[in-house]
Structure 1
Amino acid sequence: MRDVLAANLRRARLGRGLSLSELSRRSKIGKATLSQLEAGAGNPTIETVFSLSRALEVPISDLLDQQLPSGPTVVRGAEVEVLRGAAVDLRPLHGIEADGGMVEVYDQQVRPGARQDSLGHVGVEHTIVQAGRLGVRVDDQEVELGPGDYIGFDALRPHSYVALDGPVRSVLLLQYGSDQRLRLTDPHAPGLVGKD
């Protein structure tokens, strides 16, 4: 994941015409850390990836995906590198393209004892609880969700997740419109084609 993030981060930053200093200012991530990430070093956290997504105004998949496979897709959760945050473990499973937009599918586990805060990022966030009780705060509104419950909201709004009485297992879907995606002609090519 580090090598893919390194290449995509550099591609996205240059595609937006940003220096490392400007991306550091926008993302509130140190310039040295950004330089390490572009070099394929360090361990990016959920907070780091979401901050970069917000600052660059691109979906997370534009930073983490190598390319979309053709044919049947099988993803083994145990083989996927986990993005860890203060309270959440995310396993990126798949990106589904439709009408120029994208829906990213994640296995999301919320650990008890901490709150996962997000300042917001591009897209629409959808969460479906599979097991446990999940507290979700969006702006000043708080809701509790149980197994089978769903919440969706504009992910630009500040939001947080907390496991209320033990671990929570859920499916997280991040939905992006065609205007929110970078267009990469070839995921391995150094150049970038701008937005539609």
Structure 2
Amino acid sequence: MSFNFGKKISNYRQKNNLTIQEMAERTKLSTAIISQIERGIGNPTYIVLESIANEMDISVSTLVSEEISNNELVLRKSERTVMHEEAGKILMYELLTERPFHNYMDMIFVELYPHGDTSGTYTVHHEEESVYIMHGCVTMEFEDEEIELHEGDTIRVLPNRKHILHNYSDEMAYIIDVKCKNSY
């Protein structure tokens, strides 16, 4: 990870064919300040960063956020966090995303054993959730209805809706569960 917003500014200028002088005029800052920031020297104030971020049409937090290399976003199968539960008649969760940076999403691989369920009781959370059935047949139970889901089906579960997932069949069910956190 590198923390170099000066490079972001320089890349923006080059991409938009702007000179330091033109960037300074657009941001109402001096060429010296722009040059210093791009070279990673000096300590710009929030107002200076806000002026630059406005020109770039991004937030200040985006401007100063850490750069994440694509390689750092890879999670190898051998590195995944695996959790087992028995409350729901045997269940295995495997996190497909870790949260080392600014991740607002959890993607989870779920193995739901025959005649098992996800928790033994209703679950409720503040995130929106999408459930994709990779293999098998499961039933999503809400407080007032049950919906049967087959291989290839997807269901969205809106925040604060009590639900539980059952596998009433005699075979394993494989599921991808994605929970999205609010990013604001």
TM-score by length of 2: 0.52
Give the CA RMSD over aligned residues. Answer: 2.8
Shift of 1:69: 5.8
Aligned to 2:181: 176
* Counterpart AA for 2:81: E
Aligned to 1:143: 147
Aligned to 2:83: 83
2:104 counterpart of 1:102 = yes
Secondary structure of the equivalent of 2:96? strand
* Counterpart AA for 2:125: H
Aligned to 1:38: none
Percent identity between the two aligned chains: 18
Q: What number of residue pairs does the alignment pair up?
A: 111
Aligned to 2:60: none
Q: State whether residues 75 and 98 of structure 2, in contact with CA within 8 Å, keep that contact through their aligned partners in structure 1.
A: no
Q: Distance in 1 between matches of 2:92 and 2:68?
A: 24
Task: Select between 147-156 and 77-86 the one with higher mean Cα deviation.
Answer: 77-86
Q: Deviations over 1:90-144 (max 9, x none)?
A: 11111589xx871211111111223223330120110000101011112212111
Q: CA separation of 1:132/1:152 partners in 2, compared to 1, >3 Å: closer, same or farther?
A: same
Aligned to 1:35: none
Q: CA separation of 1:101/1:139 partners in 2, compared to 1, >3 Å: closer, same or farther?
A: farther
Q: Deviations over 1:58-77 (max 9, x none)?
A: xxxxxxxxxx9632333233
TM-score by length of 1: 0.49
* Counterpart AA for 1:94: T
